[in-house]
Structure 1
């Protein structure tokens, strides 16, 4: 087996490992409010979320995959080097995901992936191989890193204000309701949690689909950037297995440490997050489920009792968001140095 094929297989495996850690890391984002509001048991949550998470990548299109697969320009780079770059970028994202999961920090897998790939590309072949998108922005077009970062930065703000407004609407609609309404609010979460899981799969799994398709293209295994069905199926399976394994350390942070979540808050957060993430998926914008869910909870809390929101925890999360891209980039740079050494010099 030649070096290129071996490296291609290794990179495909690492893509699927990243997809698994993405699901593992983001499981809490989907089930935190469901469990905190006692709408479902963990077992029920895992089953429902697992089914709809699997359907998301298969039925959600490939718009996000196209965005992610085209923000690095490696067409003119030697296949062995280009695959090494992707491999190291993915390693940077995986290490960051596992580290933040271990410490119970809800950081962004999307930021980690972007940071890892930028770090690996810049250190190996130079910044000109990153599609930054600044020139296109001046012409009124969103593309490349500008599009990715715009989605990642704007989605938390949209999540916050959408959560704020949604909670006001729900409280107005339930103004005359008695405590028994909590049972109906919990039951409704079987639908909203399924919607959130579907939208998460439709957005997050597509990031891995885009990178895996790019691996096949750069390795010369497919003629053009079109996502094969087996890639969709493999990524859907990997992220679903990650979700069902569950990164439960982050449940406490999202479900309890930001604001005390009750059934009305959980329903509002799930409605808001599902709508924002699904809209982004249809528009080809990669967003962070972690960002959207966390800020929707903050928006709901700010709508009801601003002083009860634990803003100090929000600051900790925001700091993690800021350091994720450079942190994952540094890990990817170190990984590239090791791979370069292993291959006996620049591939």
Structure 2
């Protein structure tokens, strides 16, 4: 029971860090365009993150058995695997947050789980079909978000130019108002997908420890505790990353800020409906780059984009290695 309690605490810590690490996903555009003040935006995002986390559970079920089948693992080994994975994911999240790099909590958790499973139970314990499916979705989602954002921005820009007689700035006030709505649905989408990952890890541990039969059921206490941790983390705010997303990539205007939020929401909600974990960081950032490219490609700081993409590429391999080493260290000590 003590090990389960430790795992729950670590999972909620990960969720809390995920909240302030990924706050920028929901509010960077609305804060940058001054549609919302930072304080109001953070509280608003925290509330809707909580609601989204409680309402859905499809992603949690997929995380619970998509990478490895918890019922096939030895209880002791399985619980140590979860601890190593969570410690690895927390360390990488804190490191990237400190340097203001919008990396993916989803990538690091999934990579860490895979690395810890390989270290503890061997590569044969990995559910390779499920793992590869998750990786494919994670890799494809930024391209999808970029493409949808690019196309949607062109459509919105064309409509605005037609209605505004060639002056899109006339609609800035309207788009700034609509951003209040778009930031809200983006925060709800973040909670409905990202908070599910910690829930899935807790349920994975409960099944390994024999406290639950399978991963198809997410206990209410797991939902509420993970949702609260995510909401509380969101309320703290990740200002370093907000500055990177909201200011350093491109100067966000109300029109492309609103379009970016709607694009990201469409992608995230579609994935959530199918129980697929996505990186909200990658999706919203790619949406911003897509809409920005449609408006003024030269205004995008491609140097910053290149650094972020490099971080995205290395996150899963680094997480696999880090979790592998942490598990081996635990094994040596214990």
Structure 2 counterpart of 1:65: 60
Instruction: Tell me the distance in 2 between the aligned counterparts of 1:50 and 1:190.
Output: 14
Provide the C-alpha distance between the structure 1 equivalents of 2:214 and 2:64, rounded to a whole number of angstroms: 12
- 1:167 maps onto 2:150 in alignment: no
Partner SS, residue 261 of structure 1: coil
1:279 matched to 2:270? The reply is yes
Aligned pairs (5 A) from 1:195-274: 195-225=185-215, 226-274=217-265
Higher helix proportion: 2
Q: CA deviation at 1:224?
A: 2.5
1:297 aligns with 2:288: yes
Match of residue 183, structure 2, among 180, 193, 212: 193
**How many Å apart are 1:341 and its aligned residue?**
2.8
In 2, Cα distance between the equivalents of 1:74 and 1:29?
Answer: 31
Greater CA drift, 221-230 or 328-337: 328-337
Query: Bigger shift: 324-333 or 149-158?
Result: 324-333
1:86 aligns with 2:74: no
Q: How many pairs were matched up? A: 328
**Is the Cα contact below 8 Å between 1:117 and 1:332 reproduced in 2?**
yes
SS at match of 1:324: helix
SS in 2 for 1:250: helix
Q: Which of 142, 159, 162 pairs up with 1:156? A: 142
TM-score using structure 1 length: 0.92
- The 2-side partners of 1:188 and 1:308 are apart by 24
**Structure 2 partner of 1:332:** 323
Q: Partners in 2 of 1:77 and 1:229 — Cα distance?
A: 25
Q: CA deviation at 1:45?
A: 0.2
Question: Which of 98, 109, 133 is equivalent to 1:147?
Answer: 133
In 2, the alpha carbon distance for the partners of 1:68 and 1:76 equals 15
Post-superposition shift, 1:180? 4.3
Aligned-pair distance for 1:181? 2.1
String of CA shifts for 1:221-253, please: whole Å, max 9, x gaps.
Answer: 122221111111111101111111111101111
Separation in 2 of the partners of 1:332 and 1:304? 41
The answer to whether structure 1 residue 316 and structure 2 residue 307 are counterparts is yes
Tell whether 2:275 aligns with 1:307. no
TM-score, length-scaled by structure 2: 0.95
Matched, 1:51 2:58: no
| Superposed counterparts of 1:179-190, under 5 Å | 179-190=169-180
1:27 pairs with one of 7, 10, 23: 23
| Separation (CA, whole Å) in 2 of partners of 1:31 and 1:124 | 39
Q: Is the 8 A contact 1:257 1:310 kept in 2?
A: yes
Query: Could you say which residue in structure 2 is the equivalent of 1:141?
Result: none
Give the Cα–Cα distance (whole angstroms) in 1 for the partners of residues 85 and 97 of structure 2.
19
Q: Name the CA distance, whole Å, in 2 between partners of 1:273 and 1:42.
A: 20
Q: Cα gap change, 1:258/1:304 in structure 2, threshold over 3 Å: closer, same or farther?
A: same
Contact 1:55 1:201 in 2 (8 A): yes
Equivalent-residue separation in structure 1 for 2:70 and 2:180 (angstroms): 43
Pair 1:36-2:32 in alignment? yes
**2: CA distance between counterparts of 1:69 and 1:162?**
30
Structure 2 distance, partners of 1:315, 1:14, is 32
Root-mean-square deviation (Å): 1.2
- Deviation digits for residues 184-223 of structure 1 (CA, Å, limit 9, x no counterpart): 1111111111100011100011111111111111111122
Secondary structure (helix, strand or coil) at the match of 1:221 reads coil
For structure 1, which runs of at least 5 residues remain unmatched after alignment? 134-143
